């Protein structure tokens, strides 16, 4: 028996030694990826660049240029991805989502959704959103810090999803749009982000940052999918808004203001917010003020089409439906004027009011209201990156940026609806979606 064991050991050693040269001859994994792009859209200039090579290392773009210039720098063993039959763009950015919510959780149905369930819903919707080509998302409002948990899970590699900038619970006044007022008085229920008065507002900003918020979101006016309040009326006072924005900026956070009515828009801009969300009743004075201050408008337009076609399937109250029928068509007129007059625009959708994954339908509405396809794409790339404060990492395919890209068939500058059918999605140099082309 001892002799047999010795023979087995010797033979095992010999076989292992013989196998070593074979393993050494296998291609080495350099961590480098090279992408052949038949046509690459330079989102800054609007020009197409042909026969491009994108060299990626450690998840970031190392070099971009003509194949003849870049290809010699591709090391042996690098993975080469051939997108020569596609149009390649930077990964898209949606600056207004609610990943932890779904349209069928509106109205009274929302009362049965727990915070853990929200987080799990968010994991599904993050994957769907990434598959749609949106590699970066700003999530502006979620219950119980569930979006912060989702961001951390994505960053840890536990679940797939876009890069997230998250707000946690949005701030709002008692009984306002950011306060769930569907429960009867005996429950004494308030949303987590409710804060009234300057000291309370400052404390709530600090609390959200304490628990991980990247951005502060607050409700300057009433809203549509909330019971009983008026979207045209201001909710936070100018003093509260100023204190909120100053405290957030002092602590290094940008601020997004939900604002439909003109007065709320004006006072939020004067308070120094970084973006106005929705802007449904934006006035000429508001437009000029935003242009002077460099404030971004984040319109959310496609939801009007989807919601007005599907509201009967949702758990909305009559008051919510009446507001939707009034506000959403009005928003098209006012926001279209803001487009024509040159307000800075970042792409946003309010996904959760309609199903996640349909985010790119927003482009067609933006173009219908007067934007060029290039301007709409820039809103979802370089403008979105600027609003998030991430111009050094996303929004364009440049050296040092994350290797986030999408590939589509055809020319989105001629037909922006092409972006609704993304064939390839890459995040950080890793292909997360790959479909066969119609070609």
Residues marked active site are found at: 217, 350
**Two structure tokens written together for 353:** 């009011």
**Two structure tokens written together for 190:** 């308030």
Q: How far is residue 282's CA from residue 262's CA, in Å, rounded to a whole number?
A: 5
CB 78 within 8 A of CB 31: no
CB 56 within 8 A of CB 403: yes
Residues 362-386 as b/e (b if ≥16 CB within 10 A, e otherwise) read bbbbbbebebebbbbbbbbbbbbbb
Phi, psi of 257 (to 5 degrees): -115, 115
Q: How far is residue 172's CA from residue 273's CA, in Å, rounded to a whole number?
A: 15
User: Terminal CA-to-CA distance of the chain, rounded, Å?
Assistant: 65
46 Cβ neighbours under 8 A, 6+ residues apart: 374, 413
Q: How far is residue 35's CA from residue 93's CA, in Å, rounded to a whole number?
A: 21
In 3D, which of 320, 101, 410, 351 has the Cα closest to residue 362?
351
CB 86 within 8 A of CB 409: yes
């Amino acid at each position: 028996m001892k002799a047999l064991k010795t023979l087995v050991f010797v033979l095992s050693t010999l076989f292992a030694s013989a196998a070593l040269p074979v393993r050494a001859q296998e291609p080495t994994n350099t961590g480098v990826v090279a992408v052949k792009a038949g046509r690459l859209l330079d989102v800054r200039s609007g020009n197409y660049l042909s026969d491009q090579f994108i060299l990626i290392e450690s998840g970031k773009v190392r070099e971009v240029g003509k194949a003849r210039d870049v290809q010699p720098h591709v090391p042996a063993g690098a993975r080469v991805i051939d997108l020569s039959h596609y149009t390649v763009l930077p990964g898209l950015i949606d600056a207004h989502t609610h990943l932890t919510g779904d349209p069928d959780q509106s109205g009274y149905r929302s009362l049965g959704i727990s915070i853990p369930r929200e987080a799990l819903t968010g994991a599904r919707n993050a994957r769907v959103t990434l598959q749609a080509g949106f590699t970066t998302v700003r999530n502006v409002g979620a219950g119980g810090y569930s979006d912060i948990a989702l961001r951390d899970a994505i960053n840890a590699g536990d679940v797939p999803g876009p890069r997230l900038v998250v707000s946690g619970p949005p701030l709002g006044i008692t009984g306002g749009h950011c306060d769930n007022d569907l429960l009867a008085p005996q429950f004494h229920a308030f949303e987590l982000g409710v804060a009234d008065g300057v000291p309370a507002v400052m404390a709530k900003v600090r609390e959200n940052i304490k628990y991980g918020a990247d951005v502060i979101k607050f409700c300057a006016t009433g809203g549509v999918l909330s019971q009983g309040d008026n979207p045209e009326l201001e909710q936070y006072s100018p003093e509260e808004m100023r204190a909120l924005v100053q405290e957030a900026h002092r602590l290094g956070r940008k601020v997004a203001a939900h604002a439909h009515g003109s007065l709320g828009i004006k006072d939020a801009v004067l308070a120094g917010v970084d973006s106005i969300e929705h802007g449904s009743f934006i006035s000429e004075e508001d437009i000029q003020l935003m242009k002077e201050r460099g404030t971004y408008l984040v319109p959310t337009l496609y939801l009007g089409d989807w919601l007005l076609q599907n509201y009967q399937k949702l758990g909305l109250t009559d008051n919510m439906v009446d507001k939707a029928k009034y506000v959403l068509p009005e928003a098209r007129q006012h926001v279209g004027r803001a487009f024509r007059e040159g307000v800075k625009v970042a792409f946003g959708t309010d996904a959760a009011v309609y199903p996640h994954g349909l985010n790119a339908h927003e482009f067609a509405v933006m173009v219908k209201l007067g934007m060029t396809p290039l301007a709409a794409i820039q809103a979802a790339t370089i403008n979105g990156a600027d609003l998030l404060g991430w111009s050094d990492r996303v929004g364009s395919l440049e050296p040092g940026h994350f290797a986030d890209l999408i590939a589509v068939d055809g020319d989105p500058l001629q037909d922006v609806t092409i972006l609704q059918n993304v064939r390839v999605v890459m995040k950080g140099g890793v292909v997360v979606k790959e479909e066969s082309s119609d070609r």
